[in-house]
Amino acid sequence: MRIAVTIFLTDETITPTRIARELEQRGFAGLYLPEHTHIPVERTSPYPAGGDLPREYSRTLDPYVALAQAAAVTERLGLGTGITLAAQHDPIDLAKQIATLDHLSGGRFTLGLGFGWNVEEAADHGVEWRTRRELVRDRMGLMRSLWSEEPTAYDGKFGSVRASFAHPKPVQKPRGPVVGPRTLVGGMSGPKLFTHVCEYADGWMPIGGRGLSEAMPRLRTAWADAGRDPGALQVVPYAVQPSAGKLAHFAELGIEEVVVQLPPEDEAGVLRALDAYQAFVDGTGGGSGDGAGEGTR
């Protein structure tokens, strides 16, 4: 099983280059970064995990800039977002950022995609909350047209682009309906979420990994009903606090990659957490997982 990590990198934590080098040297599979453009002071959206919103949410580095730094100092480390708030981006600009990162990293990018939870943050981007899922689907359609090998126009409900020359192209080749980099949709299980997964993604990125025994058969059924290759479905539990038993259970479900949560700390604190997780990477079990809680994106 591949063990990747996620962390809120901020102006107060370990740097992108330092953690990327450390992860590659230790044999971790990837680095996934969350996204929040800003956190309005006046807000009514409750923090999904309960309690006060942690400090790091308002100090998060831009994931694409940070991942570009990580790409520049590594050769094998996977790079991903967990998650990109696509509704909050201009899709033409975002398509260029994604294609450039995938190109410069040699095809190492995973687009973790989500719909968000902070109503006020999204509203400042002009996002109407009730239609955000449709908006994300439309954004993906537009970006896929720009990633296509031949100039392809797109006319959607929320945006359009005329047939255009748009380079670089993502390194990763089309997979069924998926054009562009490996794409995983985050969110809670349900028919609406699974429709998105089956329509334009390679799989699902469930936070924490609870309830997968019940959810995965439903996703596999929806995937097959959509005409997708059963062997191609990927499920990547995200922001997991690992234990030997939990990882063994994921393996029994056919899961091949898990993203574990690191604390948003300085270099010393992050390295201690990596030490605790090293046995999972080495396949020797153990590791308490102390110092890394499950997060909410």
Bond from prior residue into 83 cis (ω within 30 degrees of 0): yes
- Mean pLDDT across 81-108: 98
pLDDT, residue 188, reads: 94
pLDDT, residue 294, reads: 39
Sequence-separated (6 or more) residues with CB below 8 Å from residue 63: 33, 34, 35, 81, 84
Q: Which of 41-50, 130-139, 152-161 shows the lowest per-residue confidence on average (mean pLDDT)?
A: 41-50
pLDDT digits 0-9 by tens, 230-281: 999 999 999 999 999 999 999 999 999 999 999 999 999 999 999 999 999 9
pTM of the shown model? 0.95
pLDDT for 295 beyond 60: no
pLDDT for 87 beyond 50: yes
pLDDT for 290 beyond 80: no
**Mean model confidence pLDDT for the chain:** 95
- Mean pLDDT across 34-63: 95
Instruction: Show the tokens assigned to 118.
Output: 């902070």
pLDDT, residue 284, reads: 78
Q: Specify whether the CB–CB gap between 91 and 137 falls below 8 A.
A: no
Q: How confident is the model at residue 286 (pLDDT cuts 50, 70, 90)?
A: low
Superfamily of domain 2-282: Luciferase-like domain (3.20.20.30)
- Mean pLDDT across 19-45: 96
Give the residue extent of every domain in the chain.
2-282
pLDDT for 289 beyond 60: no
pLDDT, residue 62, reads: 98
Distances (CA, A) of 253 to 18, 131, 241, 243, 250: 34, 33, 18, 16, 5
pLDDT, residue 184, reads: 98
